[in-house]
Amino acid sequence: MSYNDVMTLPSYDIVIPCYNRAHSVGDTLESALAQTRPPARIVIVDDHSSDADRLPDIIEGKGEHISLLRQEVNRGVSAARNTGAARCSSDWIAFLDSDDTWLPDAAQDMLGLADGQGLDVVVGHYRRVRMGGTPSVPECSWDGKDIHAALRTGGVIGPSWSMIRRTAFDASGGFDENLRTCEDWDLFLRLATSGARFGRIDSVVAHYRTVEGDRLMDDDASLSECEIIVRERHGI
| Confidence class for position 214, pLDDT limits 50, 70, 90 | low
Rounded CA separation 13/124 (Å): 17
Residue pLDDT, tens place only, 124-159:
999 999 987 999 999 999 999 999 999 999 999 999
- In DSSP terms, 126 is beta-bridged to 139, 206
**C-alpha of 130 from chain center:** 19
pLDDT the model gives residue 213: 59
Rounded CA separation 183/144 (Å): 21
Residue pLDDT, tens place only, 156-197:
999 999 999 999 999 999 999 999 899 999 999 999 999 999
Q: Which residues contact 111 (CB under 8 A, 6 or more apart)?
A: 9, 10, 12, 37, 92, 122, 163
Q: Which residues contact 115 (CB under 8 A, 6 or more apart)?
A: 9, 10
Query: Is 105 a residue whose pLDDT tops 70?
Result: yes
Cα distances (Å, whole numbers) of residue 17 to 8, 27, 33, 184: 28, 14, 16, 13
Mean local confidence (pLDDT), 74-87: 97
pLDDT the model gives residue 81: 98
Cα dihedral 77/106/90/53 (nearest 10):
40
Report field, pTM of the whole predicted structure over 0.85? yes
| Letter string b/e over residues 26-63, b meaning 16 or more CB atoms within 10 A of that residue's CB | bbbbebbbebbbbbebbbbbbbebebbeebeebbeeee
Residue pLDDT, tens place only, 30-42:
999 999 999 999 9
Q: Which residues contact 44 (CB under 8 A, 6 or more apart)?
A: 16, 18, 25, 29, 55, 59, 66, 67, 68, 69, 84, 98
3-234: CATH architecture: Alpha-Beta Complex (3.90)
- How much of the chain exceeds pLDDT 70, in percent? 96
Query: Is 218 a residue whose pLDDT tops 60?
Result: no
